[in-house]
Structures are given as C-alpha cells and as structure tokens.
Structure 1
Amino acid sequence: MTFYKKFSPFYNLALFYFIVSFILRIVLFFHPITQSSFTIIESLKIFSLGLISDFFVFVIASLFLWLYLIFISNCKYNKPYGYIILGFFIALFVYVASGKSILDEYGGALPRIVLMFIGIKTALFALLLFIPKLRDKIRYWLFAFVLFLYVLLILQNGLSEYFFWNEFGVKYNFIAVNYLIYTNEVIGNIMQSYPVIPIFSALFLVTGTVTYFILKKSKNYISEIPNLSEKLKMSCIYLGLFLISLIAIPTLAKTENSKNVFVNELQANGLYKFYLAFQNNKLDYFKFYKTISNEKAFAILKQQFPAISGENTIRKITSDSVENHKNVVLITIESYSAEFMKTYGNEQNITPFLDSLKQKSLEFTNLYAAGNRTVRGLEAVTLCLPPTAGESVLKREDNKNKFSTGALFKQRGYNVKFMYGGDAFFDNMQDFYSGNGYDIVDKSSFSPDEITFSNVWGVCDEDMYNKAIKVMNAEAKENKPFFNHIMTVSNHRPFTYPNNKIDIPGDIKSRDGGVKYTDYALRKFFAMVSTQSWFKNTVFVIVADHCASSAGKTQLPLDKYRIPAFIYDPTGKPAKYNQLMSQIDLMPTLFGLLHFSYESKFFGQDVLKPDYKPRAFIATYQDLGLIKDNVLTVLSPKQQVKQFDLQINPKPGIAPEYQIYYNEKCLKTKRTDLINETISFYQTASDMLKHKKYQK
C-alpha cells in the first residue's frame, strides 16, 4: 500500500479530534458563561492558533497508539522468539504477583492495576502464539478496541471540558487536578447533577459509530502490516513530530496573552492546561513571582502593622475592656454570592431570611472572598492569612499547629469544633482542623435517624443544623463557652434538597433553589436556637466561603469575589460597615467586639479600629490580587505584574454600598507603591509559612 496510508490510524483519529475540538470551541464561544464579545482578529486567533495547538497536543497524546502499532507483527510469534517473549511475560506476572515488586512500595491500587494489565497481555500473547488461525481475527478486534478507546477518550474529554466550563468558565485548571483526588464526591456530584445514563448511552453510541468508520478507513494497517523498514520510517517521522511538539506546545501557550481572559481560555488546549495545572499545584512564591528584599517587604508591612518588629507579624492586641467570653457560632455558607441578596440587586427573593437578619446584625457590605474554592474560604476565616500561591494551606503537608482562630478560643477555655455535613476527608478538612485542635463533627457522626436527606456532598443543611443544636445543648451543660464552625453543603451542585420545603422543588436541581433552601434552613436554625438557654449569650458570624462562580472576562473579576457577611448578636444593635475589607478580617473584627487581648500573628485586622487601612485580597491558585485605592494589582507567575483602574459600573436602583460591578481598565502609569505593597503582603505571608513562623 502507499506509504502515507500506513499513517491512516493517526490521521483519521486526528481528524476526528480536530472536529471535536472545533465544535467544542464553537459551543464555548457562544456559551452564556462566556461574558464577552470578540473581535474578528480575536476570533481568528482562537480558532487558528487553537487548531495548531490541538495538532501538536494530539501528536503527544498518540504516543501510546504509536507504541501499540509498531509492535504489531507476525514474526515475534516465530520459534524461539515467541516462547522467549511469553516466558518473559509469565516471569513479569509472577514478579508483580509476589507482592514484593517495586510497585508495592507505592501501595494503593497500582500493583493490582499493573498485574491485571500484564495478565491480560500474557493471556492474549499466549492465545496468538498457540492458535495462529485466530490471530487475524483477534488482532482485528484488538485494533478496533484501541481505536474505540481513543475515540471514547476524545469524546469524554470534550464533554468534560464542556461541563468544567459550564461550572467555572475556564478550561481545566488546578481545580480539575484536585477533582481527580476526590473521585467519590466528584463522580457522585456528576451522577446527581446530570442525566448520566442518557449522556453515557449517547456517548457510547457515538463512540461506536465513529469507531466503525475510522476502523473501516484504517484497517489496511493490520491487513498489510508494515515491514521493519517501513516501521522505522514511520517512527522517524513520528518521533520528529513528537520532539517538535514538545517545543511548539509551550511556545504556542505564550501566545495566550490577550487582555480578554476568555480569548486565552478558548484558544488554549484543555489537555495541556490540565498538564500545566498538575505541574503547578505547588508554586514557590520566591521562584515564580516578583519579589523585593525580605527586609523591604517587612518594612512595608510595618506601615500596615506599626507594632511589628523583625521579619514576622507578631504584635500585641490590647482591649480597654474586660474580655467577653460569649459562645461563637461561625457559619460559612457554600457558594453564596452577594448578588443573591436583594440589596445587591437580586429580584428573585431567594434570600428572604438573610435579607431580614442583616437588618438586625452588624453587616459588612464591602467584603471580598479571598479565593474561589471552599478551602480558601476556610483558610481565610481560620488562619486570617492572605491566599498564598498554589494549593491552600488546608491541603499542604505543613498544615498543622498553625496560629488560628480556634487556637485563640482554646486559650480561653472554649470547646472548639468544626462541623461539616459531608465527609470531612474531602478537601483535607479533617486533617487540617484536627491538626489545629478542632474536634470534628461530620457525616460519620450522624446516626441513621438523624439523616432525613442527603446527596453526594452530605446531609442537607437542616440535618446539619439539627445535629449542631444537639451538640451545642450538650456543650452548654458543661459550663464552658463554645466556638463551633459550621460549613454548609446544600448550596452546591447538584442543588438537591428535601421537597416541600420551599416553592422550588428539590429535584429540579436549580441553583436558585439551592440558594433559597439554604436560606430556609438558616431560618429554621435560628428559630430553633432562639428558644435555647444559651442563645442570648451567643454571637453568630455568617459569611460565604466564596462566590457561586468565578468566571469573568478578566483575571480577577471583582463581582465574582463579593460575598455577604454579618455578625449577629441577639443583644446587640444593628449597624453597617461599608469600608473595603477582606474575608481574613472578619474574625479579628469579632475578637475586637469580644474585647479579646492577645498576641497576634494574623494578617487580618479589626476593621472597626481607627488605624485600619481599607484593602482586600482576592486570588486564584496562581493570580494574587490586592484591591486598594480603586486599583487592582495582580501578581502572576513569571514575575508578571498587572494593574487595573477600577471604575464602578453602577446598577440602577442599588445603593452605593451594594454596587458590585466594576470595569477593570489597565493602568497606563503603574502605581509602584501599590505594587510594592502587594508584593509585601504576599511575599511576607509566603515567607511566614515557608519558614514555619505562622505556628501557634
């Protein structure tokens, strides 16, 4: 056959991959979450450079296909080679099965997976060796199976990229890597959020159909197996393209440099983005970000904290009143954007209880979440620390014995607990909180009769609050104050909750329903706690962990970080604080209200103190931002720094303190003072963690 036809498995699969990628880009281009319009030049860039990137990524991804194809031959079954190869496979199988192989050092399922693979390979080789009459048929079906797997993976990746974009508005990133670790929750979430049976039925039907046509056009490879000379030529061409691809892919990634983030994301190849996320899950600030000398960094930090000295944040916080050891209940609400609330412009009336509770509370109208993941919200209220680059402290190896809010309560004789309706193993919450002195109450603590409804994330919020009240009633009898941190789960995809609770059915999987049920459960919780003996001696802190979505056309869209926050004291007076502040400031502000005197390491501050200078921290796992003086400064890897002038984009009928939308315009003249201050905050926080100076 003609030499180019020997590449038929490659170019037929490649053509299918390009078609799927092109259709995916079209779908994402017009997706509602893609909040942007594109120029003709931007559109051409997305589709042309995107296609070129897809080509080189496919070359890399087809490595296993190349390895499979070059080893297809008949001569390897001739005597004595066939028996030698079979003997090698059997010996390898025995070695792995012995339980003393190098694979067993890694533990887990890896040895079993490898053993299964070698066992199947050995059995098939023996079959092909001893029954030559079946060789052609078996080889044909094996060839079909390999093509089927490639088609399935191409389609599966396309679906995964779509659903990931639907959730986050970006191609694969650090979150996708995390999701590989927590397969039970993630697969369960998919099972409950989407019509899985129809989707996968259609997926396998399309995969089978496409495989049939690709097999029809590619089977000439096994009907006329290339000889050694032809395989060497094929290998030279493939390996040459492979080496070029290793250079071309990162080079093309550098062209993803548009000011419009959606252009960069749509142009990018999802598989390469996943690889980058996997590589960059740990980011050393001092290696990847713009730095100044540590001496200068801490000197600038001293302007914010005049009482510190040396390269640390230790300072005395002194109150002029007697400490008030009231009980404290901190509720972090899953995925709760400010835009859900009436005062911020929502017209759906989905937060009626919180809309009323804030009128009785100390309300913080201009507070920003530190990040866009639950672990970042928990980190912010527990460690009161800016969000450092890479993974959250919760999920790092060095995550224990930190200076935390729980530690301050424990010093005062409080019972300290973390309560979560799901499995606290998820996102490493159990390891982090238990390692910092918290007792854990999670789904495993519930008896069967305490669970009325649950989904993959855990029990519904009502069940969690009922359990919390039981625990707090028992604690109140100990004559000790308690600090209980409750993390909710109901306002999370798949947004399922008990029916007949609100006017949106729990089985239609509506985000508005998830928000409204969360609000309903809070109403019931407060109705119940208001009848408890300890109620008037308890302060309730309510804050979101992060917003419902982080997608936007800029690196750090401000409206996707604005969250509601209140401190409700049944004996206190309502008030409103409108100055810019960060999620990390919430608990230090509470400590100020309780008149705690303590030695602090927190970067968070009591915003009610006259020396507080308004600023807020917002970040992804790699872009670190500081909002101050109507300027957003963003530090990114490769020592990049960008600054944006924040121009409010007012929504009619909304009070000034509740306006959340801003246009971010690149600053023509950079504010060096703000750049140095941003570097100072993030560099000193990274230094404190790196050198274990943030221990309790």
Structure 2
Amino acid sequence: MNKSKTLRTVFIQRFIFVLAIYQIVRIGFYFYNQSFFPEINAQVFVGGLLFDLSVLGYINILFAIFHLLPSKFQQNKTYQNFLFYSFFIVNGIFICLNFVDFEYFRFVGRRSSFSMITAEGMSNEIGGLIVSYFVDYWMIPVFVALTFTLFWLGLKQIKYRNVKTSSNFISTASLLFMVILLFTAGRGIDRKPLSIVDASKFGPIGTSALVLNTPFTVLKTLSKKESLKEVNYFSEEEANTIFNPIQSFSYENSNKKNVVLLILESFGRENIQRGQTPFLDSLIQKSYFFENGFANGKLSIDAVPSTISSVPSLMNKSFISSSYAVNNVYGLPKILKDNGYNTSFFHGAFNGSQNFDQYASVAGFDHYYGKNEYKGSESFDGKWGVFDEDFLQFFAKELTTFKQPFFTTLFTISSHAPFTIPKKYKGKFPKGTTEIHESIAYTDSALKKFFESAEKMPWFNNTIFVITADHTSSTGEESEYKNNVGKFRIPILFYVPNDASMVKIDENNFQQIDILPSLVDYLQLNTKLISYGKSYKSEQDFVVNYLDNIYNLEMGDYYLAFDGTKSLGLYNWKKDTLLKDNLIKKEPETKEKMERFIKAYIQSFNHRVLKNQLTIQ
C-alpha cells in the first residue's frame, strides 16, 4: 500500500522534477550547439537555474493554489487525476518550446521571441516549413519524444493516489508561503524584475542563449510593444559631438544612375569565395568590394530597414515587427523619389511574407511585386515562393518597363531553409560541406543568368548594382564565424559597369546601414537626412549591431562588447579572429574611446526611435 502524503509534498516533488528536466534540456541544447559556445563556465548554469526558476515560478503559481487549497476535495481521485494531467500537459508544452531553438538558434543567434514562435509575417509559409522542420531536423522531434517520455515516467513515480489533508491553518499557511515563494522566483530578488537582458551577467560573452530558456523569452515578449527606453549617458550637446546622425550632402551636379539593390538570402561571408559562388566571386573582382562587410541584424526582416532606411536593429524585436514600424523614415525610396526616380520592391515569397509589403509601403516604394504579381512559368518551391532563377528573370523583364532613372530592390528566397532548388538542377551544383551550400550555388547561378539578361537591356550601362546578403547563414564550420563578430560578416559590393573608379577592395569596416549614405554620395544628390551609417567615402570606420542583449561595436581593428551598462570585452578582431585575448585592462584608452561612441550612438538611436524623429523636422 502506498504511503500517504499531502498534495503539498506532491507539488514540491513535481516542481523539483520539472526543474530537473529543464536542466537536462539545457545540457542537450549545449551539446547540440556546442561549436557556438567554445567557452562556458559554472556561471552559465547558475544563471540558467535562476531563469528556469523564474519561468517555472510564473507557470506553476496556479498549480500551487490547486494543490494547496485547504479542502477535503483534495482527496478526490478525479481531482487528483486532473492535477496530474493538467500539470503534465501545461509544463510539457513549455518544455517543448525549448526545442524550437535547438536548430533555430543557429540562424538567429538568440532565443526565440513571441513573434518568432508565432511566425509573425509568415502565415502563408508556416505549414510547409513545419513539415520541412520535422523532416530535415528529425533528431529534434526524437529529442522531444524522449524528453516527454522521461517527463511522463518521472511524474508517474511521484505517487498521488493516497493523499491526506492537513489542517486548514497549515494548508492556508503553506499556500501563502508557496505562492509568495513562486512569485519571488518568477520576479527575481533584485530591485527590478528579472529580464532577458540580465542573462548577459552570467558567463562569457555570447552565452546568453545558453543561460536563457525559450519559455522565458517568449513570455517576456508577449507584448507587441518593444521595451526601448531613453538613456542619458551624456547631455544632448555632448552626445552630438561624439555621434550625430544628421548628415548633409551638397553637390553642383548629380549622377542619376539607376539603382538595383539585390539582397541575397543567407549569403554570409562564410559561404562565398570557397567554390560555391563562382559568379559572385568573379563579380567581386570588378566591383567596389568591402572586405569587412557586416550585417546589422540576424534576421531577414532586420536587413530591409537597415539597407533601405539606414535604421540598425538595436532591439530584441525586429524594427519591422515592432510598434515603431510605422515611424516616419526618409529612406532610399523617398530620397530617390524626390529626385525623380521610379521605385519598386520585389520579393518572390508570398505577399505579406515577413511584413515586407507593409514596410515597403511605409518606406515609400511606388510598387511591390510578390508571388502574386509574378508572371512566368510555374515555379513554386512548395514552401516560400518562386524559385530565384525564374523570379530574377521576371525581375529583369519588368525593369525594362520602368521609366529611368529607377530604384529597385529584390530579395532572393531560395537559399533559405529548407534550401529547396528546382528538380532539374539536382546534382548539378556542388553539395559543399553544409546543407545550405547547394542552394547558395543555385542562387549564384540564377544571379549569373540575371546579369546575362540585364547586360542586354538598354538601362544596364547606366546602373549601379548594390549586392549584399541579408545576414549570415550560421552554418559555416569555421569558428571565426560563430562569435559576435563573425556572426555578422557578409559580402557587400557596388558594381558599376564602365566606372573604373568603382573597382577596389576596401578594407574599412562597412555595414548595411552605410548603403544609403553611400548611394546618396555616389549619385551626388543634394539632401539632408538621418542616417546611423556613413558613406563609403567617409573617414569614419565603425560598425554597430546588436545580438542577445549585447551591443557590438567594430571600430578599426577593434571589437567592443557593451551590455548597455558596462563593457564586457575588447578584442583586436582582425588579429584575434577567435576573440581569445580580452584587452579591456591592457588597452583602457581604446576601451574608453569606443565605449563613449557606443553610448552616444545608443542614446541617439533610442531617443529618435521613441520620439519618431528619424526624419529631419
């Protein structure tokens, strides 16, 4: 006969067991992504325990009340069964959320938010992508099944059939104590509630995703509103002397060439010049190529405002999907339209995908072309939209119908997971060493055919082509692409037919938000604007991006990691590509100079985004 015990004891045993499951899942997450965490310590797991206690505290407060309510019905077998199954189902669902990031983390470099989990902006694609996820990453569903089995069997070992009741006083006191304890665990014991940003306090740089758990980040981002806050490191006057985003351009004559901006899905620096991209490699040799090019975000939806509007991604929520997406911006579409340009945006995915059509409208494009507007042979990839080769040919034909000068942007899709290419090309391209390489080679071939068609067009010789990746793919084997510098390195180039002055390998640091002021400078347009980047002609040499609550600043040969309060690391990233030698104590003057810059930069960005001041008033 089972020894009787109180439901208070049952709840405590269940809570401790689910906490243990979270630790097992974290260890699994670490081993699945071990190459992304070359340096960890005990602090990582201590911090992880705090975040696990936090999310479990909030999730299980209601269960604590159900278990500890002073009443005779606690002994009812139906009620006991209800508590068992509901505890298993609810906690099981939240445990399952962690497995989403086993693979997704490799692409985005952080734990998922609520908008990521709910596939905001991808309602048309999500069905096919879920199927592909289970097929391509079959190990993860197996891990889920094994964890659920362990969770079920473990809970079954916590006997609950013969419970006894305590006195009303003891039950009431236990209930109040447990609710207070769980609430305290959920909130954290600091002056402010535990937040996603706090994860950076535990462990080395770049380990925040290991400290956190996905249920915590999802619950903390349930609100549509982004929690961007005013910061006042300096007076406004002093901040403007350090960094001022207001830029003026004045010329006697303009150089109004057509502008074609091509954003290549996942064409990270780790994927080019390694045999998979022969066409792009050849184009680099006759272009103005930025050897040290950087993305300003880790998601496709970060790349669009960065390249189009010179707005970096310095929030945990992407700018496009935040409450600031409708802020006034004076980006390339409006600037060029003011100078007589026809403007258009092309994306071969389903209309509405990733909210690109919405942002294209806000940014000021005249026309949007998605899968619905595509005209050509049947070319659906079964997941995202139109295969790159066919959509690029459609793109080339459409451009011939536009009045010159025109500005157009095209975003490719085929080198996105699940990396589908047309059946007729199976076995035609090198497989490479990771799953993305074949689709990278396919898109490179599609790009070549686009340029072969474009060269025959009357507008070709009067055009500047800007080519950039949206972000890295995070599937490269080299360790240098798995730290907070390498995770953002992408190819960026300007190709201008018949302009010898635009053939160069530029070693300065260059980022997506630099594209806008660089084009204004090259086209010699008279304008005044807000830009968080700088022209390719500028003597400034900085790059800023943000990942997992860390602001990353590259300035010259140095990289500074700043958490919003203090600097965490300083490295000579060009010599120390694996970021092993922290120079904070060795080079305090460099650290001080870079910290002043990033503080002024953050202060300006937060203020202007919050106050809707991204345009000249």
TM-score w.r.t. the length of structure 2 is 0.84
Instruction: Please report how far the alpha carbon of residue 275 of structure 1 lies from its aligned counterpart in structure 2 after TM superposition.
Output: 3.7
- Which of the residues 323, 328, 353 maps onto 2:254? 323
1:695 maps to amino acid:
T
Does 1:394 find its partner at 2:324? no
What is the alpha-carbon distance in structure 1 between the residues aligned to residue 579 and residue 279 of structure 2? 28
Instruction: Please report how far the alpha carbon of residue 382 of structure 1 lies from its aligned counterpart in structure 2 after TM superposition.
Output: 1.2
The answer to whether the Cα contact below 8 Å between 1:395 and 1:432 also exists between their aligned partners in 2 is no
The answer to whether the Cα contact below 8 Å between 1:8 and 1:217 also exists between their aligned partners in 2 is no
Larger Rg: 1
Residue 458 of structure 1 corresponds to: 385
Residue 292 of structure 1 corresponds to: 234
What is the alpha-carbon distance in structure 1 between the residues aligned to residue 578 and residue 148 of structure 2? 44
More helix by share: 1
- Which of the residues 501, 523, 542 maps onto 2:448? 523
Residue 436 of structure 2 corresponds to: 511
The answer to whether the Cα contact below 8 Å between 2:464 and 2:494 also exists between their aligned partners in 1 is yes
Instruction: Please report how far the alpha carbon of residue 459 of structure 1 lies from its aligned counterpart in structure 2 after TM superposition.
Output: 2.2
Does 1:604 find its partner at 2:533? yes
- Which of the residues 341, 357, 363 maps onto 2:289? 363
Instruction: Please report how far the alpha carbon of residue 589 of structure 1 lies from its aligned counterpart in structure 2 after TM superposition.
Output: 2.1
Residue 676 of structure 1 corresponds to: 596
2:514 maps to amino acid:
D
Instruction: Please report how far the alpha carbon of residue 219 of structure 1 lies from its aligned counterpart in structure 2 after TM superposition.
Output: 3.8
SS class of match (2:32):
coil
2:421 maps to amino acid:
Y
Instruction: Please report how far the alpha carbon of residue 174 of structure 1 lies from its aligned counterpart in structure 2 after TM superposition.
Output: 7.6
What is the alpha-carbon distance in structure 2 between the residues aligned to residue 174 and residue 210 of structure 1? 25
Identity of aligned residues (%): 20
2:341 maps to amino acid:
Y
Instruction: Please report how far the alpha carbon of residue 627 of structure 1 lies from its aligned counterpart in structure 2 after TM superposition.
Output: 2.0
- Which of the residues 455, 459, 466 maps onto 1:534? 459
> For each residue in 1:291-319, what CA deviation from the matched residue of structure 2 results, as whole angstroms up to 9, or x when unmatched?
211111123336xxxxxxxxx7152x223
Instruction: Please report how far the alpha carbon of residue 403 of structure 1 lies from its aligned counterpart in structure 2 after TM superposition.
Output: 0.8
- Which of the residues 467, 472, 488 maps onto 2:399? 472
- Which of the residues 51, 54, 57 maps onto 1:59? 57
What is the alpha-carbon distance in structure 2 between the residues aligned to residue 692 and residue 151 of structure 1? 41
> CA 1:137–1:505 in structure 2 vs 1: closer, same or farther (change >3 Å)?
farther
The answer to whether the Cα contact below 8 Å between 2:36 and 2:482 also exists between their aligned partners in 1 is no
The answer to whether the Cα contact below 8 Å between 1:419 and 1:468 also exists between their aligned partners in 2 is yes
The answer to whether the Cα contact below 8 Å between 2:483 and 2:578 also exists between their aligned partners in 1 is no
The answer to whether the Cα contact below 8 Å between 1:453 and 1:497 also exists between their aligned partners in 2 is no
> For each residue in 1:594-653, what CA deviation from the matched residue of structure 2 results, as whole angstroms up to 9, or x when unmatched?
333333333433323xx532222222374333322433344434x334451314347xxx
Residue 372 of structure 1 corresponds to: 298
> CA 1:380–1:197 in structure 2 vs 1: closer, same or farther (change >3 Å)?
closer
Instruction: Please report how far the alpha carbon of residue 283 of structure 1 lies from its aligned counterpart in structure 2 after TM superposition.
Output: 3.7
Residues 133-282 of structure 1 aligned to structure 2 (within 5 Å): 142-143=82-83, 145-150=85-90, 152-172=92-112, 176=116, 179=119, 182=122, 185-186=125-126, 188-195=128-135, 203=144, 207=148, 210-211=151-152, 214-215=155-156, 217-220=158-161, 231-248=171-188, 257-258=201-202, 260-261=204-205, 263-278=207-222, 282=226
What is the alpha-carbon distance in structure 1 between the residues aligned to residue 287 and residue 109 of structure 2? 34
Instruction: Please report how far the alpha carbon of residue 443 of structure 1 lies from its aligned counterpart in structure 2 after TM superposition.
Output: 1.8
What is the alpha-carbon distance in structure 2 between the residues aligned to residue 336 and residue 229 of structure 1? 65
Residue 665 of structure 1 corresponds to: 582
Instruction: Please report how far the alpha carbon of residue 526 of structure 1 lies from its aligned counterpart in structure 2 after TM superposition.
Output: 1.5
The answer to whether the Cα contact below 8 Å between 1:384 and 1:404 also exists between their aligned partners in 2 is yes
Residue 511 of structure 2 corresponds to: 582
> For each residue in 1:534-573, what CA deviation from the matched residue of structure 2 results, as whole angstroms up to 9, or x when unmatched?
3223221101122223998999721222211111223233
Instruction: Please report how far the alpha carbon of residue 354 of structure 1 lies from its aligned counterpart in structure 2 after TM superposition.
Output: 0.5
Does 1:21 find its partner at 2:57? no
Residue 469 of structure 2 corresponds to: 544
What is the alpha-carbon distance in structure 1 between the residues aligned to residue 398 and residue 583 of structure 2? 51
What is the alpha-carbon distance in structure 1 between the residues aligned to residue 56 and residue 47 of structure 2? 14
What is the alpha-carbon distance in structure 1 between the residues aligned to residue 434 and residue 584 of structure 2? 42
> CA 1:68–1:421 in structure 2 vs 1: closer, same or farther (change >3 Å)?
farther
The answer to whether the Cα contact below 8 Å between 1:14 and 1:55 also exists between their aligned partners in 2 is no
The answer to whether the Cα contact below 8 Å between 1:367 and 1:565 also exists between their aligned partners in 2 is yes
Instruction: Please report how far the alpha carbon of residue 249 of structure 1 lies from its aligned counterpart in structure 2 after TM superposition.
Output: 6.4
TM-score w.r.t. the length of structure 1 is 0.75
Instruction: Please report how far the alpha carbon of residue 441 of structure 1 lies from its aligned counterpart in structure 2 after TM superposition.
Output: 0.9
2:584 maps to amino acid:
L
Residues 604-683 of structure 1 aligned to structure 2 (within 5 Å): 604-608=533-537, 612-620=539-547, 622-637=549-564, 639-642=565-568, 644-649=570-575, 663=580, 665-668=582-585, 669-671=588-590, 672-683=592-603
SS class of match (1:644):
strand
The answer to whether the Cα contact below 8 Å between 1:331 and 1:485 also exists between their aligned partners in 2 is yes
Instruction: Please report how far the alpha carbon of residue 521 of structure 1 lies from its aligned counterpart in structure 2 after TM superposition.
Output: 1.7
What is the alpha-carbon distance in structure 2 between the residues aligned to residue 36 and residue 435 of structure 1? 39
- Which deviates more, 145-154 or 330-339? 145-154
What is the alpha-carbon distance in structure 1 between the residues aligned to residue 440 and residue 279 of structure 2? 11
> CA 1:178–1:647 in structure 2 vs 1: closer, same or farther (change >3 Å)?
same
Gaps of 5+ in 1: 77-134, 303-311, 651-659
2:603 maps to amino acid:
Q
What is the alpha-carbon distance in structure 2 between the residues aligned to residue 362 and residue 578 of structure 1? 11
1:28 maps to amino acid:
F
SS class of match (1:571):
coil
The answer to whether the Cα contact below 8 Å between 1:556 and 1:619 also exists between their aligned partners in 2 is no
Gaps of 5+ in 2: none
> CA 1:155–1:605 in structure 2 vs 1: closer, same or farther (change >3 Å)?
closer
1:511 maps to amino acid:
I
